[in-house]
Amino acid sequence: MDDAPPRIEDTTHDHAADRAAIERVIADVEAGFNAHDAALSVAHFAANASAVSVRGAQVSGHDALLEAHRAGFAGPLRDQHARYELADVTFLRPDVAVAHKRARATTPEGEPIDVGHAMIALYVLVREGGRWWIAARQNTLVAQP
């Protein structure tokens, strides 16, 4: 019996176009965050998506995510801006991907600023109906040295 863990990754397809599509999804989330546009921020979340905030609050369902983003942009996020970077993507199956996004605080003009922390997010994405959807996201604050 082989107890070695399996490597779970789809290598049957060239995923260059998929990665580019996921980069566009992350770019839209970033654009929505920086414009404080809740609808754009959640435009790529599936109807039954789930997200966990940096404070550990879980929100499930597209409508609830939209309301949570509206509340955040009207409140604690109203003066915040960030630059996102897609750090990596692993295609578990041809239509399922796990991705990490890094985020750093910026001025409204996009200049990096030090706020004492950064963020990393884990995304689970699923290709459905010819496009990529966010099924889940987990945000985590990362202390800066």
Longest CA–CA span in the chain (Å) reads: 58
Residue range 16-143, CATH number: 3.10.450.50
Where do the structural domains in the chain lie, given as residue ranges?
16-143
Query: Virtual CA dihedral for 145, 104, 20, 66, nearest 10 degrees?
Result: 130
Tell me whether strands 45-52 and 131-143 are parallel, antiparallel or unpaired. parallel
Whole-number CA gyration radius for the chain: 16
Read off the pLDDT of residues 118-138 as tens digits, 9 standing for 90 and up.
Answer: 999 999 999 999 999 999 999
Give per-residue pLDDT as tens, 17-52.
Answer: 999 999 999 999 999 999 999 999 999 999 999 999
Taking residues 53-59, report their average pLDDT: 93
